[in-house]
Structure 1
Amino acid sequence: MNLKNLLVLAIICTCFIQNASAQVLSSISPGQIWPDQQGKHINAHGGGVLFHEGKYYWFGEHKTEGKSGNRANVGVGVYSSADLYNWNNEGIALKVAKENSGSEIEKGSIIERPKVIYNAKTKKFVMWFHLELKNQSYNAARTGVATSDKVTGPYTYVKSFRPNAGIWPMNFNDAWKNKTVKEADLKAWTDEWRKEVAEGLFVKRDLQKGQMARDMTLFVDDDGKAYHIYSSEENLTLHLAELTADYLAFTGKYITIEPGGHNEAPAIIKHQGKYYLVTSGCTGWDPNAARSFVADSIWGPWKSLGNPCVGEGADLTFKSQSTFILPVAGKKDTYIFMADRWTPENAIDGRYIWLPMTIEDGKPVIKWQDNWKLTKE
C-alpha cells in the first residue's frame, strides 16, 4: 500500500472513531457532561441561544483548563442544533487577538456572557458581550460589540465602551441630580450608603464617562426593537437600555431596575404580554438564590416576585447561575432556563443547568429534573 492510500485510510479511521464516540441524545441531563457530536463536552459557558432559519445556535465563552481558563484565551464559541439535544461544534465565532497586539480583545482579556441577535433590516448578526481589558481585573466594566454576515461567524470586533455617557436614566428622580454627597463621604454598606446608592450615587459618579456594564443579556421585542440589560453601578443596579435600529449602539433611553438590589446574571422573556426577568445575587463564582421580576412594560415599573426556583436546592438555584431564557420555537409558552454551574478551579469543566421554566399564577417557576425531554406539542 502506497503512502497516499495509507493517508486516506488514516483519515477514514479517524472519522470513524470520532463518529463512534459521539452519542445521539434524546434528552437533557442538567449538571452532567454534555457531549457535542464530536464527543467532547460543550464549551459555551455564560451563553445564549439564537434561533435562526430552523436551527438553534448556542454562543458562549470558550474556557480552557485551570484558573486562567476564565480569561479569554481563545474567544467565543458557537454550536448548532436542530433539536436542542445534539450540538455540533461550529468553531470559534469571535477569536481573540494575539497577545501584545494592542487589541481590546487580545488574549488574556475577559469576555463574558456573549449574546447574539439578528437584525432583519441590516441582515447582520450582532454580538454583544461584557468586556474587561487585559491586566485591569474587573475595573473596565465595558460592553463590547461585534458583527458578522454569517450566523456562525467569523465575527468582526467593532468597539467597546461604557453605555449612556452624559445621559440620566428615564426613571431617575430629578431631585437626585442635584445631590452633592460623594462616595468618599460615606461608609459602605451602612443604611445611609444604601439609601444614597438607591438614589443614584453611582449613576452620578459615572455619568460623564458612561455607566459600568458587566453581566448582560439581549432581548428583541415583538416590534423588532432590541434591548441590552446589564449589571451596573458596581453590580448594585441593573440597567435596561434600548439599542439603535442597527443594534450597534444605544439610543440614550434607559432605566434602572432595583437600584441597590445587587443583581447580576439577567435573563428575560416576554410571556402573554408581560416581561419576566430572572437574575441572581452577587456572590462571585458561588451560587445563590435566584430572583425574579415582572413588568407590564419593558420600561417598568418592575415588581419583585421572589425566587423562581422551588424544591430541594432552590436556595442555591440548583448550584448554578442564570445566563439566558430560551423560548422554544414552535412550542407555545415553552421556555428553557439556562444556567451555569461554575468550576473556577478548572474553568473548562463548568456544567450546564438547563431546566423547563413555566409561568404559573403570574410567576416563573423552575423545578429540578435529573433528566427531561421537550414535550411533543
Structure 2
Amino acid sequence: MIGSISEQCLSGVCRPAVSTVLPERRLCVQGGEAMSQQSLIISGVSWFDDRGRTVNAHGGCIVGENGLCYLFGEYKTDEENRFAGFSCYSSPDLVHWTFRRIVLPQQADGLMGPGRIGERVKVMRCPTTGRYVMFMHSDDLGYRDPRICYAVCDTIDGDYEFRGPMTFRGEPIRRWDPGVFQDDDGTGYLLVHEGDIYRLSDDYLSAAEQVGEGIALGGEAPAAFKLGGRYWMLFSNKTSWDCNDNYCLSAPSMRGPWTYQGLFAPEGSMTCNSQSLFVIPVHTDRGMVPMYMGDRWSFPHQASAATYVWQQLSVNQGRLRLAEYWPAWSPVSGKEEPFEGRRIDVGFRSDRAGESVTIPFHGSRVALTGRADQWGSYARVGIRRAGMGGESAMVVNPIFVSWYAKSPDFGYRYVSPELPEDDYIVSITVTGEMPGWTDKTGQRFGSVGSFVAVDHLLVM
C-alpha cells in the first residue's frame, strides 16, 4: 500500500500526506465468502475493477485526493482506434480499483466528437481556482489535425466540461502527447512532443509562456517529475503502437538547461516493453520510491489486452535507472514478490486459429505464465464454473490476452480477479491473428506470427 495521498499533487507526482502502512493481506468479500487476497502490483497483465471488468484507463495519470488515488485514462475499444471517452478509477492502494465513471464522454460533434482521436489525458488541480483541469490530445483518425484541448470540473471525478483547444498567444496549440507537471509553488506546465514546454496561466486554462523548445526532437510521451533536487523528463521515440528504448533528460529547473541522460532502462528491453506515461512516489516500508508508469499497448485489442507496466525508479550517481524489471511487487514492502500459487504444468503452444486448451482447477484465483515474443499473438481467455455450460457458467468473461512482445519476455500473461473458492475451468483459445499496423509513413510494426504459449497455471 502507499500512504494516504494528499489533495496536492506537486512536482508532477502525488505526495503522500501521511505514510501509513496497511496489512499486506486483507480480507475481500465477494459472493458472501471471505477470501485472502495478495496485494501486488502485477505488470503486463490486464487488471480487473470492482465490477469484474478490465481497468480501461490508458495514456493517463494519477491524482491523489482524500486518501485515494484517482487513475484517469483513455477508455479504449477492442475494435478500432477512436475516442470513446476518458475514464476515472479510484484506489486506496494502487492495486484494487473502483470504476467511478466516464468523466468526459464522446461529444456530439467538434474536436472530441465522432471520428476523432482522444489521447494522453492528464488532470491537475489548479491551486488558484480549486478547479480540476483536464488536458488531452485531439486529432482526426489519420493523425493529421492535432490540437491540445482542455476540460474543467469542480470535483475530481465529476462530469468534465469540454472547453476546446488550449491556446498560446491566441492561437491553438497544434501538437500532441500532452504531459503535465506541477511545481512546488503550484506553477503548472504543459509538455508536448518534441520537447516543447509551456508555463500555464494562473488558472491553467491557457499557455502563458514557452519556457522550453525542442529539447527532445523526435520524442513523444513526455513525463516530468522532480527527484533528488533535479527535474527529470522521460520521452519515448516514435514507433507507433510499438515500444522502444525510452530515454530521459534532467535539468536544474523547468527552464533548463536540459541535459540528455540516455536510457533509463536496460538497453534492448524496450523500457520493459512499454511507453512512458507518468511518475508518482510510493511510500513503502523502505521509504519513498518513485514509480514509473508505462503503457504496454496492444493494437488493435486495446480495451482487453493493453496493459500497464509500473516499476520502481532510482537515482544512482546522478543517473536515473529502472534497473530491474519486477513482474510483481508489493507496494507495502517495496520489494519484489511472486504471485503465490500451486503450479500446474500446461505446456501448450499453438498458432492455429480456434485451437484451445482447458484446465480445471479448484481455488479462488489463477495466473497464466508463458513466453511472449515477436512471434506471439492473441488468445481469448475466460473462466467458467465447472460442471456448468452456457453463458450463465461464465464467471470471468473471455478477454483478449496478448503473447506479443518486441523484447522477449517470460512472465505473467494473465491474472484473474479474485473469485469465491470453488471448482472452475479456465479456457485459452488461439485467435490466429497476426497483429500488425503501419505508421503515417507506411512502416509496418507488430507481430510476425500468431503463437500463444502457456507454460504453467498458478492457482491460489
**What TM bracket, shorter-length normalisation?**
0.7 to 0.9
* 1:253 and 2:210 are equivalent in the alignment: yes
Report the equivalent of 1:336: 291
Counterpart mapping for 1:1-377 below 5 A: 24-66=37-79, 68=80, 70-73=81-84, 75-98=85-108, 102-133=109-140, 137-161=142-166, 163-165=167-169, 211-231=173-193, 237-258=194-215, 261-310=217-266, 314=269, 316-328=270-282, 333-348=288-303, 349-366=305-322, 367-376=324-333
Shift of 1:304: 0.8
Q: Any stretches of 5+ residues in structure 1 without a counterpart?
A: 1-14, 167-208, 232-236
1:336-367 CA deviation, whole Å, 9 max, x = no partner?
11111111121212011111111221122112
Q: Indicate the SS of the match to 1:104.
A: helix
Residues of 2 paired with 1:50 and 1:310: CA distance?
A: 29
1:267-304 CA deviation, whole Å, 9 max, x = no partner?
11101321011111111111110101110011111101
Over 3 Å counting, the alpha-carbon distance change for 1:328 and 1:257 in structure 2 is farther
Q: Indicate the SS of the match to 2:43.
A: coil
Q: Which amino acid aligns with 1:212?
A: R
1:154-196 CA deviation, whole Å, 9 max, x = no partner?
10001114x4358xxxxxxxxxxxxxxxxxxxxxxxxxxxxxx
Shift of 1:329: 6.0
Q: Which amino acid aligns with 1:217?
A: G
Structural RMSD (CA) = 2.4
Q: Which amino acid aligns with 2:133?
A: V
Shift of 1:21: 12
- Normalized per residue, the structure richer in helix is 1
Residues of 1 paired with 2:92 and 2:215: CA distance?
A: 37
Aligned residues: 303
Shift of 1:32: 1.1
1:211-267 CA deviation, whole Å, 9 max, x = no partner?
531112111000000000001xxxxx21010001111111023321435x3100111
Shift of 1:23: 8.8
Q: Which amino acid aligns with 2:144?
A: N
Q: Indicate the SS of the match to 2:41.
A: coil
Identity score, percent: 30
Shift of 1:144: 0.6
* 2:59/2:73 contact within 8 Å kept: yes
TM-score by length of 2: 0.62
* 2:148/2:172 contact within 8 Å kept: no
Q: Which amino acid aligns with 1:334?
A: V
* 1:337/1:355 contact within 8 Å kept: yes
Q: Which amino acid aligns with 1:95?
A: P
* 1:128/1:145 contact within 8 Å kept: yes
Residues of 1 paired with 2:222 and 2:234: CA distance?
A: 6
Q: Which amino acid aligns with 1:146?
A: A
Once structures 1 and 2 are overlaid, which stretch shifts more, 281-290 or 341-350?
341-350
Q: Indicate the SS of the match to 1:140.
A: coil
Residues of 2 paired with 1:148 and 1:287: CA distance?
A: 33
Q: Indicate the SS of the match to 2:329.
A: coil
* 1:22/1:35 contact within 8 Å kept: no
Q: Which amino acid aligns with 2:86?
A: V
Over 3 Å counting, the alpha-carbon distance change for 1:210 and 1:155 in structure 2 is closer
Q: Which amino acid aligns with 1:288?
A: N
Q: Indicate the SS of the match to 1:318.
A: helix
Q: Which amino acid aligns with 1:110?
A: I
Over 3 Å counting, the alpha-carbon distance change for 1:140 and 1:23 in structure 2 is farther
Over 3 Å counting, the alpha-carbon distance change for 1:270 and 1:164 in structure 2 is same
Shift of 1:369: 0.5
Shift of 1:318: 1.5
* 1:23/1:39 contact within 8 Å kept: no
Over 3 Å counting, the alpha-carbon distance change for 1:254 and 1:38 in structure 2 is same
Residues of 1 paired with 2:213 and 2:162: CA distance?
A: 28
